[in-house]
């Protein structure tokens, strides 16, 4: 009896494992995570200050801030971008000619529908 139950449990476990990662992304209720990285390390630093709020300290050199999300979800600018800064395909481009005389708070929406939240990037210069 114990052997039969063990065999049945093994078969059921094998069937269950066939369906791992089979749900469509739209069916999964998961809050996405975001990671921000710079393409030019000499262009400054980006540090998370509090949950979803970052400080970008620039050095007057051009750099990109790349948004990587898990799972892959949309990221859209939720703010009128400062002059000369562009955002396309999850890449925020900050040119060397950026006017650093003003501090900015740049906002983005990450995710979709119920799993959407705001990310803020505050700018400063060193």
Report pLDDT for 45. 93
Confidence of residue 46 (pLDDT cuts 50, 70, 90): very high
Q: Look up residue 60 and give its two tokens.
A: 């007057």
- The count of residues in the chain is 126
Q: What is the pTM of this model?
A: 0.73
Report pLDDT for 18. 75
Average pLDDT for 35-59: 93
Q: Are 41 and 64 in contact (CB under 8 A)?
A: no
Q: Under CATH, to which class is 25-125 assigned?
A: mainly beta
Of 25 and 119, more confident: 119
Confidence of residue 24 (pLDDT cuts 50, 70, 90): low
Confidence of residue 126 (pLDDT cuts 50, 70, 90): low
- Sheet containing 75-77: give its strands across: 44-50, 53-58, 117-125, 105-110, 75-77
Secondary structure (DSSP) of 29-91: ----EEEEEES-GGGEEEEEEETTEEEEEE-SS-EEEEEEEES---EEE-SPPPTT-EEETTE
Report pLDDT for 100. 77
pLDDT at 27 over 90: no
pLDDT in tens, 57-91: 988 899 999 999 999 999 999 989 988 899 999 99
């Amino acid at each position: 009896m114990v052997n039969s139950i063990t065999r049945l449990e093994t078969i059921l476990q094998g069937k269950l494992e066939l369906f791992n990662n089979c749900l469509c992304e739209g069916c999964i209720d998961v809050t996405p995570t975001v990671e921000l990285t710079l393409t030019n390390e000499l262009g400054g630093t980006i540090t998370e200050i509090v949950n979803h709020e970052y400080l970008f300290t620039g050095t007057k050199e051009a750099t990109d801030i790349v948004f990587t999300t898990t799972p892959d979800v949309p990221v859209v600018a939720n703010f009128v971008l400062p002059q000369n800064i562009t955002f396309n395909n999850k890449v925020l481009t900050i040119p060397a000619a950026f006017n650093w005389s003003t501090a900015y708070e740049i906002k983005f929406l990450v995710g979709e529908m119920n799993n959407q939240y705001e990310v803020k990037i505050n700018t400063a210069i060193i």
